[in-house]
Structure 1
Amino acid sequence: MSKAQAHIEVLAEDQQRINAFSRLHVKMQELERKLASEKRYLEELEDASNELMLSDDDNVRFLVGECLVHFEKDTAEGRLEEVTKEAKESADKTTADLADVKKQLGDLKAHLYAKFGSQINLEEE
């Protein structure tokens, strides 16, 4: 074996880091899917808000759970603002969580590549 391909012993702490990387990678993918879903939801809420502003009706149907409920336009606008605020807060939290996970992944990746070099592949295919 050449020096570049020399066997590097995998210690228990290395295996723990590899396992942590794997778990964090799965969590990152889940958070990315969740964030994409939250962004689509925010777009739908924005569309609903625009439609509500253009509406001439005094009473509108508003989805609550799985039921459509009739609200006065002003009440619906207020409720839509609340829902949008909650959705933005959730998306902001997901964005922060995702950034934290990506930082942890970067730290683990740097450590593992420093030790194992090309003998480990942590990239997605």
Structure 2
Amino acid sequence: MVQKEKEDLEEITTELELADEDEPVQYKVGDTFYAVPLARAQKLLATSSTEIDEDVTKLEDELSAMKEEMDGLKAHLYARFGRGINLEG
């Protein structure tokens, strides 16, 4: 889900590069849209992108730690029960 948000922000950022600087841009905050100048919308998107990148990095680190822990537990169980235990699937 966070990855999808990141992709959406990247797509919106690309779209805003084509926008007219003199026209206000609709920017969504929560469930409400606000008309903001293009420069402000780009700054808000940059901030949101940075936050999403940090969230993605944090989640990837957590996933990596969980995979390492799971591999350690699998190794322990295989050492104890041999190949008679099926931990895949």
- State if a TM-score over 0.5 links the two structures: yes
Give the one of 40, 59, 63 matched to 2:24: 59
Give the one of 38, 45, 57 matched to 2:2: 38
Q: Deviation per CA, 1:72-98, whole angstroms, max 9, x where unpaired?
A: 100000000000000000000000000
- The 5-angstrom pairing of residues 20-35 of structure 1 reads none
Counterpart for residue 38 of structure 2: 73
Cα distance in 1 for residues equivalent to 2:62 and 2:14: 30
Instruction: Note if 1:123 corresponds to 2:84.
Output: no
Bigger RCO of structures 1 and 2 (CA < 8 A, at least 6 apart): 1
Letter in 2 for 1:78: K
Counterpart for residue 68 of structure 2: 103
Counterpart for residue 58 of structure 2: 93
Normalised TM-score (structure 2)? 0.94
Shift of 1:60: 0.3
Q: Percent same amino acid among aligned pairs?
A: 34
**Which segments of 5 or more consecutive residues in structure 2 lack a partner in the other structure?**
none
Instruction: Note if 1:112 corresponds to 2:73.
Output: no
**SS class of match (2:25):** strand
